[in-house]
A = this chain, B = another copy of it.
Amino acid sequence: MTREERYEHGMKVLEQVDGEAGQRIVNSLADTSPELGHQVVAWAFGDMYARPELPPRDRQLVTLGVLAALGGCEIELEVHINAALNVGLAPTEIAEALLHSAVYCGIPRSINATLVAKKVFAERGLLPITNVA
């Protein structure tokens, strides 16, 4: 596989999972760190996310846990809460995953992540939350 083929493969995965939101982040990196944009697409999505060992819905549950715990990742959480909806997690499941994370990374991180979910759900007309996306 050439470098370009790896990028194109990753872009297909990114488009299915993140839609426009992921693409916007990659574009925003073009003039400052084009290689970081390349690695997000070719490595994170093409090499890692695309692996069949875990389906997208499961990957998003792990990702929600990691991003909630890290903190300070509001931009990335916005992308990945959208992604979570795109791959089949219901709003109630996303809210519950972030509630669950409070046990392990504390209430403040859980609140911060939930307020990002509130924003995404509002933009997609999903409030108040129900168990159907």
User: Taking beta carbons and an 8 Å cutoff, which residues of A are in contact with B?
Assistant: 1-2, 25, 28-33, 35-36, 39-40, 43-44, 47-49, 51, 53-54, 58-59, 61-73, 75-76, 92-93, 95-112, 114-115, 117-118, 121, 127-129, 131
Q: Given A31-B127, A102-B39, A106-B105, are A64 and B67 neighbors across the interface (CB < 8 Å)?
A: no
A-B interface, 4 closest residue pairs, ranked by CB to CB distance from nearest:
A65-B65, A72-B72, A69-B69, A71-B72
Q: How far is the CA of A43 from the CA of B68 in the complex (A)?
A: 20
Q: Which residues of B contact A104 (CB under 8 A)?
A: 63, 66-67, 70, 76, 106-108
Q: Which residues of B contact A98 (CB under 8 A)?
A: 33, 36
Which residue of chain B lies nearest to A101 when distances are taken between CB atoms in the complex?
B66
Q: How far is the CA of A48 from the CA of B98 in the complex (A)?
A: 11
* A and B contact pairs by CB, cutoff 8 A, 11 listed: A30-B128, A31-B128, A32-B95, A32-B129, A62-B62, A62-B97, A63-B104, A66-B106, A75-B111, A106-B106, A106-B109
Q: How far is the CA of A1 from the CA of B4 in the complex (A)?
A: 11
Q: Which residues of B contact A32 (CB under 8 A)?
A: 95, 114-115, 117-118, 121, 127-129
